[in-house]
Amino acid sequence: MRFHLWIAACALLCARDATARELFVDNVAGNDSSNGLFETWQSTAGPMRSLGRALSVATPGDRIVLVNSGAPYREMISLSSGRHNGDASQPFTIDGRGATLDGSRAVPVEAWESFAGPVFRFRPPRMAFQQLFRDSRPLVRRVADVDGRLPDLAPLEWCLHDGWVYFRVEAGKLPGDYGLTYAGLQTGITLYHVHGLVIANLTVQGFQLDGINAVDGVRDCRLQNVVCRGNGRAGLTVAGSSQVDLVGSLLGNNGEAQLRTEAWSLTRVAGSQLLDNTAPPLVRVGGRILVDGEPVNSIP
């Protein structure tokens, strides 16, 4: 009986190994009608064009590889239980190869209106959290005064106040001269009840809420060599009962927190940098944190 069970287990493992694939995505040269089994075009087969398409056809244990075309991938993605799971021997993997997932959008020139002298304003579609970028870099943000008044802005500074983005131009300039962008898409990567997952070598930036949000039920999840920067609320949020390992990564230039933890979550941080620049390195609303194996309540 045990022998037959062993044979059955081996058969299942072999079948799983046979079905796991490597799927390639190229947002410049790819086509979503392709099967994605080739990194470059071979006759009529080649890479897919969007990460979302690859995720829609992926199966457990697959490996999705992004071609770093130099152009950002401008999409939001969600991974959930079922097809996006893996295990220790064969995790479901997204390898960014240094590519960028970017949620920013250009501020339409006509959206700006004059407010007072060199200060202009526009009203973004998403207002709870925001960022304002020039050349893909967050500009200096000022916070409204304690009495709710708009602060005195220096040139190239901005403030989110009462649902408006206020921006001060330099002398002789208009907002349209800068090619400004804002956080247009909501969350870069949403994880929900997935396990056996690796996301590696990817920059996630310019999203209105979080770069990566492990909503609930995430376990055996490893974020390795990931950069989460310039997102409206947090670079990474780990919530619910999720357990996430952040390894060799960088979180910085986010709006409210570099790392945000909630509820009963567990976040293990190893060999990573959480910058204390635009926001606190850590904001805890519940959850446990281990940094290099040691429990902490705050990150200096």
Tokens of 14: 């072999």
Q: Which has more confidence, 236 or 126?
A: 236
Round to whole Å and give the CA distance between 144 and 65.
43
DSSP, collapsed to helix, strand or coil, labels residue 4 as: helix
Mean pLDDT score, 29-46: 93
Tokens of 256: 């409210």
DSSP, collapsed to helix, strand or coil, labels residue 52 as: helix
Considering only CA atoms, which of 114, 17, 3 is closest in space to residue 60? 17
pLDDT of residue 15: 44
Round to whole Å and give the CA distance between 300 and 296.
10
- Degrees, nearest 5: CA angle 260-247-84: 80
Mean pLDDT score, 169-179: 97
Per-residue pLDDT at 121 exceeds 70: yes
pLDDT digits (tens, 9 = 90+) for 192-203: 999 999 999 999
pLDDT of residue 18: 53
Tokens of 25: 């995505």
Burial of 206 (0-12, 13-18, 19+ CB in 10 A): buried
Taking a C-beta distance cutoff of 8 angstroms, is the pair 208, 130 a contact? yes
Per-residue pLDDT at 16 exceeds 50: no
Tokens of 271: 């060999």
DSSP, collapsed to helix, strand or coil, labels residue 276 as: coil
Round to whole Å and give the CA distance between 196 and 85.
6
Residue written as tokens 């829609």?
56
Mean pLDDT score, 162-170: 96
Tokens of 160: 């989110």
Residue 87 Cα distances to 23, 106, 120, angstroms: 18, 40, 52
Per-residue pLDDT at 164 exceeds 50: yes
3-state secondary structure 199-239: EEEEEEECCCCEEEEEEECCEEEEEEEEEEECCCCEEEEEC
Percent of the chain with pLDDT over 70: 94
Tokens of 105: 């959008």
Round to whole Å and give the CA distance between 246 and 249.
6
Per-residue pLDDT at 224 exceeds 60: yes
Per-residue pLDDT at 43 exceeds 90: no
Q: Which of 3-12, 107-116, 161-170, 192-201 has the lowest mean pLDDT?
A: 3-12
pTM of the model: 0.91
Q: Which has more confidence, 82 or 91?
A: 91
Nearest 10 degrees: CA dihedral of 202, 124, 179, 252?
-30
